Structure 1
Amino acid sequence: MLMILEIAIGLLCMATALALRPWRMLQGPLLTPALAAVVLLPMLWLLPQFLPNGLPVQFSGACLLVLALGWPLAVPVLAVVALVVWGLGPSDGYAALTQWVWVGLLPATLALGLGALIRRWLPSNIFVYTLGRGFLGTALVVFLAGALFEWTHHQVDGVALEQALVARWLMAWGDAFLTGMFAAIGVAFAPKYLATWSDERYLRG
Protein backbone atom coordinates (compact mmCIF):
# COMPACT_ATOMS: atom_id res chain seq x y z
CA MET A 1 0.00 0.00 0.00
CA LEU A 2 2.80 2.40 0.88
CA MET A 3 4.59 1.56 -2.34
CA ILE A 4 1.48 2.45 -4.37
CA LEU A 5 1.16 5.73 -2.46
CA GLU A 6 4.81 6.60 -3.07
CA ILE A 7 4.59 5.75 -6.77
CA ALA A 8 1.46 7.89 -7.07
CA ILE A 9 3.12 10.84 -5.31
CA GLY A 10 6.19 10.52 -7.51
CA LEU A 11 4.21 10.32 -10.75
CA LEU A 12 1.95 13.21 -9.79
CA CYS A 13 4.84 15.49 -8.86
CA MET A 14 6.84 14.54 -11.95
CA ALA A 15 3.90 15.01 -14.31
CA THR A 16 3.07 18.40 -12.80
CA ALA A 17 6.69 19.54 -12.93
CA LEU A 18 7.28 18.39 -16.52
CA ALA A 19 4.04 20.04 -17.65
CA LEU A 20 5.68 23.35 -16.71
CA ARG A 21 8.65 22.57 -19.01
CA PRO A 22 11.37 23.27 -16.42
CA TRP A 23 14.21 22.34 -18.80
CA ARG A 24 13.90 25.81 -20.29
CA MET A 25 15.50 27.19 -17.12
CA LEU A 26 18.67 25.19 -17.79
CA GLN A 27 19.56 27.53 -20.65
CA GLY A 28 20.65 30.17 -18.12
CA PRO A 29 22.83 30.19 -15.00
CA LEU A 30 20.69 27.57 -13.21
CA LEU A 31 22.52 24.81 -15.09
CA THR A 32 25.40 25.22 -12.62
CA PRO A 33 23.45 24.53 -9.38
CA ALA A 34 21.51 21.76 -11.13
CA LEU A 35 24.71 19.95 -12.08
CA ALA A 36 26.18 20.59 -8.63
CA ALA A 37 23.13 18.95 -7.07
CA VAL A 38 23.44 15.87 -9.28
CA VAL A 39 27.10 15.51 -8.25
CA LEU A 40 26.92 16.35 -4.53
CA LEU A 41 23.50 15.26 -3.29
CA PRO A 42 23.93 11.54 -4.13
CA MET A 43 26.92 11.37 -1.80
CA LEU A 44 24.84 12.80 1.05
CA TRP A 45 21.84 10.60 0.26
CA LEU A 46 24.06 7.50 0.14
CA LEU A 47 25.46 8.13 3.63
CA PRO A 48 22.68 6.36 5.59
CA GLN A 49 23.24 3.17 3.61
CA PHE A 50 26.77 2.84 4.99
CA LEU A 51 26.01 3.69 8.62
CA PRO A 52 25.24 1.11 11.35
CA ASN A 53 21.61 0.08 11.70
CA GLY A 54 19.41 2.55 13.53
CA LEU A 55 17.99 5.97 12.82
CA PRO A 56 19.51 7.19 9.56
CA VAL A 57 21.36 10.50 9.55
CA GLN A 58 19.86 11.99 6.41
CA PHE A 59 20.49 15.34 4.74
CA SER A 60 17.74 16.32 2.32
CA GLY A 61 18.90 19.38 0.36
CA ALA A 62 15.45 19.61 -1.24
CA CYS A 63 14.60 23.01 0.25
CA LEU A 64 17.86 24.47 -1.00
CA LEU A 65 17.14 23.05 -4.45
CA VAL A 66 13.71 24.68 -4.46
CA LEU A 67 15.26 28.05 -3.59
CA ALA A 68 17.97 27.63 -6.22
CA LEU A 69 16.06 26.00 -9.07
CA GLY A 70 12.38 26.48 -8.34
CA TRP A 71 10.07 23.55 -7.63
CA PRO A 72 9.41 22.49 -11.27
CA LEU A 73 13.12 22.02 -11.98
CA ALA A 74 13.96 20.65 -8.53
CA VAL A 75 11.60 17.68 -8.99
CA PRO A 76 13.35 16.08 -12.01
CA VAL A 77 16.76 16.93 -10.58
CA LEU A 78 15.82 15.08 -7.40
CA ALA A 79 14.70 12.17 -9.59
CA VAL A 80 18.15 12.06 -11.21
CA VAL A 81 19.74 12.16 -7.75
CA ALA A 82 17.60 9.20 -6.66
CA LEU A 83 18.57 7.25 -9.78
CA VAL A 84 22.26 7.89 -9.11
CA VAL A 85 21.80 6.73 -5.51
CA TRP A 86 20.08 3.58 -6.77
CA GLY A 87 22.88 2.90 -9.23
CA LEU A 88 25.74 3.49 -6.81
CA GLY A 89 24.30 2.25 -3.52
CA PRO A 90 23.66 -1.25 -2.18
CA SER A 91 19.91 -0.72 -1.68
CA ASP A 92 17.19 -1.71 -4.12
CA GLY A 93 14.96 0.43 -6.33
CA TYR A 94 12.17 0.66 -3.76
CA ALA A 95 14.56 2.22 -1.24
CA ALA A 96 15.56 4.80 -3.86
CA LEU A 97 11.88 5.51 -4.57
CA THR A 98 11.17 5.95 -0.86
CA GLN A 99 14.13 8.30 -0.49
CA TRP A 100 13.08 10.31 -3.53
CA VAL A 101 9.54 10.77 -2.20
CA TRP A 102 10.15 11.35 1.52
CA VAL A 103 13.58 13.00 1.49
CA GLY A 104 13.20 14.86 -1.79
CA LEU A 105 9.69 15.43 -3.12
CA LEU A 106 7.78 15.93 0.12
CA PRO A 107 10.16 18.52 1.65
CA ALA A 108 10.41 20.27 -1.72
CA THR A 109 6.63 20.46 -2.13
CA LEU A 110 6.11 21.60 1.46
CA ALA A 111 8.78 24.25 0.93
CA LEU A 112 6.91 25.44 -2.18
CA GLY A 113 3.69 25.79 -0.21
CA LEU A 114 5.37 27.50 2.73
CA GLY A 115 7.12 29.88 0.36
CA ALA A 116 3.78 30.86 -1.15
CA LEU A 117 2.37 31.54 2.32
CA ILE A 118 5.40 33.62 3.27
CA ARG A 119 5.13 35.72 0.11
CA ARG A 120 1.43 36.22 0.76
CA TRP A 121 1.48 37.12 4.46
CA LEU A 122 4.95 38.42 5.35
CA PRO A 123 6.87 41.51 4.19
CA SER A 124 9.08 41.15 1.13
CA ASN A 125 12.59 41.73 2.42
CA ILE A 126 15.93 39.95 2.52
CA PHE A 127 15.55 38.76 6.12
CA VAL A 128 12.21 37.12 5.47
CA TYR A 129 13.75 35.32 2.48
CA THR A 130 16.96 34.09 4.14
CA LEU A 131 15.60 33.43 7.63
CA GLY A 132 11.99 32.58 6.79
CA ARG A 133 12.38 30.51 3.66
CA GLY A 134 16.01 29.51 3.98
CA PHE A 135 16.43 28.74 7.69
CA LEU A 136 13.25 28.43 9.76
CA GLY A 137 11.11 27.28 6.84
CA THR A 138 13.57 24.50 6.02
CA ALA A 139 13.63 23.28 9.62
CA LEU A 140 9.83 23.14 9.67
CA VAL A 141 9.23 21.34 6.38
CA VAL A 142 12.11 18.87 6.77
CA PHE A 143 10.82 17.96 10.22
CA LEU A 144 7.25 17.58 8.95
CA ALA A 145 8.41 15.34 6.12
CA GLY A 146 10.51 13.29 8.52
CA ALA A 147 7.64 13.02 11.00
CA LEU A 148 5.27 11.79 8.29
CA PHE A 149 7.84 9.23 7.25
CA GLU A 150 8.24 7.99 10.81
CA TRP A 151 4.48 7.71 11.32
CA THR A 152 4.12 5.62 8.17
CA HIS A 153 7.37 3.62 8.17
CA HIS A 154 8.66 3.49 11.76
CA GLN A 155 10.37 0.11 12.13
CA VAL A 156 13.58 0.86 14.05
CA ASP A 157 14.03 -1.78 16.77
CA GLY A 158 14.54 -0.38 20.23
CA VAL A 159 13.63 3.21 19.28
CA ALA A 160 10.26 4.61 20.31
CA LEU A 161 8.35 6.77 17.87
CA GLU A 162 8.70 9.77 20.21
CA GLN A 163 12.48 9.37 20.23
CA ALA A 164 12.53 9.07 16.45
CA LEU A 165 10.57 12.32 16.16
CA VAL A 166 13.02 14.09 18.46
CA ALA A 167 15.88 12.84 16.29
CA ARG A 168 14.08 14.07 13.17
CA TRP A 169 13.61 17.48 14.77
CA LEU A 170 17.30 17.75 15.61
CA MET A 171 18.39 16.58 12.16
CA ALA A 172 16.07 19.10 10.51
CA TRP A 173 18.13 21.92 12.01
CA GLY A 174 21.24 20.67 10.23
CA ASP A 175 19.38 20.97 6.93
CA ALA A 176 18.10 24.38 8.00
CA PHE A 177 21.57 25.67 8.89
CA LEU A 178 23.09 24.65 5.56
CA THR A 179 20.13 25.89 3.52
CA GLY A 180 20.01 29.21 5.33
CA MET A 181 23.76 29.68 5.01
CA PHE A 182 23.85 28.93 1.28
CA ALA A 183 20.76 31.07 0.68
CA ALA A 184 22.43 34.02 2.42
CA ILE A 185 25.67 33.48 0.49
CA GLY A 186 23.71 33.23 -2.76
CA VAL A 187 21.80 36.44 -2.07
CA ALA A 188 25.00 38.28 -1.24
CA PHE A 189 27.34 37.00 -3.93
CA ALA A 190 25.48 34.99 -6.60
CA PRO A 191 21.76 35.85 -6.76
CA LYS A 192 21.66 34.56 -10.36
CA TYR A 193 21.85 31.04 -8.91
CA LEU A 194 18.62 31.52 -6.92
CA ALA A 195 15.55 31.19 -9.12
CA THR A 196 13.29 32.27 -6.25
CA TRP A 197 15.22 35.46 -5.49
CA SER A 198 14.16 38.81 -6.94
CA ASP A 199 15.86 42.16 -6.33
CA GLU A 200 12.63 43.93 -7.20
CA ARG A 201 10.64 41.98 -4.64
CA TYR A 202 13.03 41.64 -1.73
CA LEU A 203 15.18 44.77 -2.00
CA ARG A 204 12.75 47.31 -3.37
CA GLY A 205 9.42 45.74 -2.35
Structure 2
Amino acid sequence: MFLEATIALLALVTAIFLQPWRLLASQRPLVHESHGKPSALWTPLLAALVVLPWAWALPTLHHMPLQLQWSGACLVLLTLGWPLAVPVLLAVGLIAGLVSPGLGWADALGLAVWQGVVPATLALLLGWLMRRLITTRAFTGARIFVYVLGRGFLGTALCIFLAGTLSQSAGHMLPGVGEQLSLVARWLMAWGDAVITGMLCAVFVAFKPEWLATWSDDLYLPKP
Protein backbone atom coordinates (compact mmCIF):
# COMPACT_ATOMS: atom_id res chain seq x y z
CA MET A 1 0.00 0.00 0.00
CA PHE A 2 2.94 2.33 0.63
CA LEU A 3 3.96 2.18 -3.04
CA GLU A 4 0.45 2.97 -4.25
CA ALA A 5 0.08 5.83 -1.76
CA THR A 6 3.41 7.31 -2.87
CA ILE A 7 2.52 7.14 -6.56
CA ALA A 8 -0.91 8.64 -5.94
CA LEU A 9 0.45 11.46 -3.80
CA LEU A 10 3.24 12.38 -6.25
CA ALA A 11 0.83 12.34 -9.20
CA LEU A 12 -1.77 14.41 -7.34
CA VAL A 13 0.74 17.03 -6.17
CA THR A 14 2.15 17.33 -9.70
CA ALA A 15 -1.32 17.61 -11.21
CA ILE A 16 -2.40 20.30 -8.74
CA PHE A 17 0.81 22.23 -9.45
CA LEU A 18 -0.24 22.33 -13.12
CA GLN A 19 -3.57 23.94 -12.14
CA PRO A 20 -5.99 21.59 -13.93
CA TRP A 21 -9.01 23.72 -12.98
CA ARG A 22 -8.02 26.19 -15.68
CA LEU A 23 -9.26 23.68 -18.27
CA LEU A 24 -12.71 23.85 -16.71
CA ALA A 25 -12.84 27.64 -16.44
CA SER A 26 -13.10 28.31 -20.18
CA GLN A 27 -13.08 26.24 -23.34
CA ARG A 28 -9.76 26.02 -25.15
CA PRO A 29 -10.60 27.46 -28.59
CA LEU A 30 -10.41 25.17 -31.60
CA VAL A 31 -10.60 26.20 -35.22
CA HIS A 32 -14.37 25.73 -35.40
CA GLU A 33 -15.20 27.21 -31.99
CA SER A 34 -15.76 30.66 -30.60
CA HIS A 35 -14.06 32.13 -27.54
CA GLY A 36 -15.46 32.43 -24.05
CA LYS A 37 -17.76 29.41 -23.95
CA PRO A 38 -18.04 27.33 -20.77
CA SER A 39 -15.72 24.36 -20.93
CA ALA A 40 -17.15 21.31 -22.69
CA LEU A 41 -14.84 19.13 -20.58
CA TRP A 42 -17.41 19.09 -17.79
CA THR A 43 -19.34 16.47 -19.78
CA PRO A 44 -16.60 13.80 -20.02
CA LEU A 45 -15.49 14.62 -16.46
CA LEU A 46 -18.93 13.97 -14.97
CA ALA A 47 -19.37 10.92 -17.19
CA ALA A 48 -16.13 9.45 -15.83
CA LEU A 49 -17.22 10.05 -12.24
CA VAL A 50 -20.59 8.37 -12.87
CA VAL A 51 -19.63 5.39 -15.06
CA LEU A 52 -16.10 4.36 -14.10
CA PRO A 53 -16.66 3.68 -10.36
CA TRP A 54 -19.22 1.00 -11.23
CA ALA A 55 -16.94 -0.51 -13.86
CA TRP A 56 -14.05 -0.66 -11.37
CA ALA A 57 -16.23 -2.07 -8.59
CA LEU A 58 -17.95 -4.65 -10.79
CA PRO A 59 -15.52 -7.55 -10.08
CA THR A 60 -16.22 -7.22 -6.34
CA LEU A 61 -19.97 -6.74 -6.78
CA HIS A 62 -20.32 -10.01 -8.71
CA HIS A 63 -18.18 -13.08 -8.02
CA MET A 64 -16.74 -14.34 -11.29
CA PRO A 65 -14.07 -16.97 -12.07
CA LEU A 66 -12.07 -14.29 -13.88
CA GLN A 67 -12.41 -10.75 -12.63
CA LEU A 68 -12.82 -8.83 -15.87
CA GLN A 69 -11.47 -5.32 -15.48
CA TRP A 70 -12.06 -2.22 -17.56
CA SER A 71 -9.81 0.73 -16.89
CA GLY A 72 -11.00 3.62 -19.07
CA ALA A 73 -7.96 5.63 -17.90
CA CYS A 74 -6.61 6.24 -21.40
CA LEU A 75 -9.99 7.56 -22.53
CA VAL A 76 -10.09 9.87 -19.51
CA LEU A 77 -6.56 11.02 -20.36
CA LEU A 78 -7.51 11.78 -23.96
CA THR A 79 -10.64 13.69 -22.96
CA LEU A 80 -9.40 15.60 -19.92
CA GLY A 81 -5.62 15.78 -20.23
CA TRP A 82 -3.23 14.44 -17.60
CA PRO A 83 -3.45 17.24 -14.97
CA LEU A 84 -7.23 16.92 -14.79
CA ALA A 85 -7.36 13.16 -15.33
CA VAL A 86 -5.26 12.37 -12.23
CA PRO A 87 -7.60 13.85 -9.57
CA VAL A 88 -10.62 12.49 -11.47
CA LEU A 89 -9.20 8.95 -11.53
CA LEU A 90 -8.30 9.13 -7.85
CA ALA A 91 -11.86 10.28 -7.13
CA VAL A 92 -13.17 7.35 -9.19
CA GLY A 93 -11.21 4.97 -6.96
CA LEU A 94 -12.67 6.63 -3.88
CA ILE A 95 -16.22 6.36 -5.21
CA ALA A 96 -15.64 2.73 -6.20
CA GLY A 97 -14.64 2.01 -2.60
CA LEU A 98 -17.87 3.59 -1.42
CA VAL A 99 -20.23 1.75 -3.77
CA SER A 100 -18.71 -1.71 -3.27
CA PRO A 101 -18.87 -3.28 0.21
CA GLY A 102 -16.34 -5.91 -0.87
CA LEU A 103 -13.74 -3.37 -1.91
CA GLY A 104 -11.45 -2.23 0.90
CA TRP A 105 -9.76 1.16 0.91
CA ALA A 106 -6.37 -0.38 0.18
CA ASP A 107 -7.87 -2.18 -2.82
CA ALA A 108 -9.57 1.03 -3.96
CA LEU A 109 -6.25 2.86 -3.79
CA GLY A 110 -4.64 0.06 -5.79
CA LEU A 111 -7.35 0.38 -8.44
CA ALA A 112 -6.93 4.15 -8.61
CA VAL A 113 -3.19 3.78 -9.12
CA TRP A 114 -2.80 0.70 -11.34
CA GLN A 115 -6.02 1.07 -13.36
CA GLY A 116 -6.05 4.86 -13.35
CA VAL A 117 -2.96 6.95 -12.70
CA VAL A 118 -0.32 4.59 -14.11
CA PRO A 119 -1.97 3.82 -17.50
CA ALA A 120 -2.94 7.49 -17.88
CA THR A 121 0.68 8.52 -17.27
CA LEU A 122 1.94 5.92 -19.74
CA ALA A 123 -0.59 7.21 -22.28
CA LEU A 124 0.70 10.74 -21.68
CA LEU A 125 4.28 9.66 -22.41
CA LEU A 126 3.18 7.75 -25.50
CA GLY A 127 1.28 10.78 -26.75
CA TRP A 128 4.38 12.95 -26.32
CA LEU A 129 6.41 10.48 -28.40
CA MET A 130 3.76 10.42 -31.12
CA ARG A 131 3.59 14.20 -31.28
CA ARG A 132 7.36 14.31 -31.69
CA LEU A 133 7.06 11.74 -34.48
CA ILE A 134 4.44 13.55 -36.53
CA THR A 135 6.22 16.90 -36.28
CA THR A 136 9.38 15.52 -37.89
CA ARG A 137 9.96 16.06 -41.58
CA ALA A 138 10.28 12.32 -42.13
CA PHE A 139 6.60 11.73 -41.27
CA THR A 140 4.32 11.84 -44.31
CA GLY A 141 1.26 9.86 -43.14
CA ALA A 142 -2.22 11.05 -42.15
CA ARG A 143 -1.92 12.60 -38.72
CA ILE A 144 -5.53 11.98 -37.74
CA PHE A 145 -4.91 8.23 -37.88
CA VAL A 146 -1.93 8.64 -35.57
CA TYR A 147 -4.30 10.10 -32.99
CA VAL A 148 -7.24 7.71 -33.45
CA LEU A 149 -5.35 4.47 -34.07
CA GLY A 150 -2.07 5.27 -32.34
CA ARG A 151 -3.29 6.97 -29.17
CA GLY A 152 -6.88 5.78 -29.05
CA PHE A 153 -6.55 2.13 -30.06
CA LEU A 154 -3.06 0.61 -30.17
CA GLY A 155 -1.65 2.98 -27.58
CA THR A 156 -4.43 2.13 -25.14
CA ALA A 157 -3.81 -1.61 -25.47
CA LEU A 158 -0.10 -1.12 -24.84
CA CYS A 159 -0.49 1.24 -21.88
CA ILE A 160 -3.19 -0.84 -20.16
CA PHE A 161 -1.14 -4.03 -20.56
CA LEU A 162 2.06 -2.40 -19.28
CA ALA A 163 0.20 -0.97 -16.29
CA GLY A 164 -1.27 -4.40 -15.55
CA THR A 165 2.15 -6.00 -15.81
CA LEU A 166 3.60 -3.43 -13.41
CA SER A 167 0.76 -4.02 -10.96
CA GLN A 168 1.39 -7.76 -11.12
CA SER A 169 5.08 -7.13 -10.43
CA ALA A 170 3.99 -5.14 -7.38
CA GLY A 171 2.04 -8.16 -6.11
CA HIS A 172 -1.47 -7.50 -7.45
CA MET A 173 -2.46 -10.84 -8.97
CA LEU A 174 -5.77 -11.72 -10.58
CA PRO A 175 -7.68 -13.97 -8.13
CA GLY A 176 -7.80 -17.62 -9.09
CA VAL A 177 -5.42 -17.24 -12.05
CA GLY A 178 -1.78 -18.32 -12.28
CA GLU A 179 1.01 -15.85 -12.92
CA GLN A 180 1.53 -16.70 -16.59
CA LEU A 181 -2.19 -16.90 -17.31
CA SER A 182 -2.63 -13.55 -15.57
CA LEU A 183 -0.42 -11.91 -18.20
CA VAL A 184 -2.48 -13.50 -20.97
CA ALA A 185 -5.70 -12.35 -19.30
CA ARG A 186 -4.36 -8.81 -18.87
CA TRP A 187 -3.33 -8.73 -22.53
CA LEU A 188 -6.79 -9.78 -23.69
CA MET A 189 -8.55 -7.34 -21.33
CA ALA A 190 -6.27 -4.55 -22.58
CA TRP A 191 -7.60 -5.07 -26.10
CA GLY A 192 -11.16 -4.82 -24.85
CA ASP A 193 -10.26 -1.48 -23.30
CA ALA A 194 -8.55 -0.46 -26.55
CA VAL A 195 -11.60 -1.24 -28.71
CA ILE A 196 -13.89 0.91 -26.57
CA THR A 197 -11.39 3.76 -26.28
CA GLY A 198 -10.52 3.73 -29.99
CA MET A 199 -14.18 3.66 -31.02
CA LEU A 200 -15.18 6.54 -28.74
CA CYS A 201 -12.07 8.48 -29.71
CA ALA A 202 -13.02 8.24 -33.39
CA VAL A 203 -16.58 9.34 -32.64
CA PHE A 204 -15.40 12.30 -30.56
CA VAL A 205 -12.90 13.42 -33.21
CA ALA A 206 -15.67 13.41 -35.81
CA PHE A 207 -18.53 14.90 -33.81
CA LYS A 208 -17.30 16.26 -30.45
CA PRO A 209 -13.64 17.31 -30.68
CA GLU A 210 -14.26 19.81 -27.87
CA TRP A 211 -14.53 16.79 -25.55
CA LEU A 212 -10.89 15.89 -26.28
CA ALA A 213 -8.42 18.08 -24.41
CA THR A 214 -5.54 16.33 -26.19
CA TRP A 215 -6.91 17.00 -29.68
CA SER A 216 -5.59 19.86 -31.80
CA ASP A 217 -6.86 20.86 -35.23
CA ASP A 218 -3.57 22.56 -36.03
CA LEU A 219 -1.54 19.47 -35.14
CA TYR A 220 -3.65 16.63 -36.48
CA LEU A 221 -5.48 18.40 -39.31
CA PRO A 222 -2.79 20.63 -40.80
CA LYS A 223 -3.69 22.78 -43.77
CA PRO A 224 -2.09 21.64 -47.06
Q: How far does the alpha carbon of each residue in 1:76-135 deviate from its partner, in whole angstroms, 9 at most, with x for none?
A: 111111111111111211111000000000000000001101111244710000000000
Residue equivalent to 1:76: 87
Question: What displacement does 1:183 show?
Answer: 0.5
Return the TM-score normalized by structure 1: 0.94
Residue equivalent to 2:2: 4
Residue equivalent to 1:98: 110
> Which range moved further: 32-41 or 120-129?
120-129
Letter in 1 for 2:94: L
Residue equivalent to 2:51: 40
Structure 1 runs of 4+ aligned residues shifted over 4 Å read: 154-158
Question: Which one of 153, 171, 187 corresponds to residue 135 of structure 1?
Answer: 153
Question: What displacement does 1:159 show?
Answer: 2.7
Is 2:89 the partner of 1:89? no
Q: How far does the alpha carbon of each residue in 1:11-43 deviate from its partner, in whole angstroms, 9 at most, with x for none?
A: 000000000110121121111110111011111
Tell me if structure 2 keeps the 8 A contact 1:154–1:161. no
Is 2:30 the partner of 1:20? no
Return the TM-score normalized by structure 2: 0.86
Relative distance call for 1:51 and 1:153 in structure 2 (3 A) is: farther
Letter in 2 for 1:160: G
Question: Which one of 155, 158, 169 corresponds to residue 187 of structure 2?
Answer: 169
Is 2:131 the partner of 1:119? yes
Tell me if structure 2 keeps the 8 A contact 1:75–1:105. yes
Question: What displacement does 1:52 show?
Answer: 2.2
Q: Distance in 2 between matches of 1:154 and 1:101?
A: 12
Letter in 2 for 1:63: C
Residue equivalent to 2:75: 64
Residue equivalent to 2:219: 201
Question: What displacement does 1:156 show?
Answer: 5.0
Letter in 1 for 2:158: L
Q: Distance in 2 between matches of 1:157 and 1:202?
A: 42
Between the two proteins, the alignment pairs up a number of residues equal to 203
Q: How far does the alpha carbon of each residue in 1:130-174 deviate from its partner, in whole angstroms, 9 at most, with x for none?
A: 000000000000000111112222555653211110000000001
Question: Which one of 182, 186, 195 corresponds to residue 200 of structure 2?
Answer: 182
Greater share of residues in helix = 1
Gaps of 5+ in 2: 26-38
Gaps of 5+ in 1: none
Q: Distance in 2 between matches of 1:51 and 1:69?
A: 30
Letter in 2 for 1:150: Q
Tell me if structure 2 keeps the 8 A contact 1:54–1:156. no
- CA-atom RMSD, angstroms? 1.5
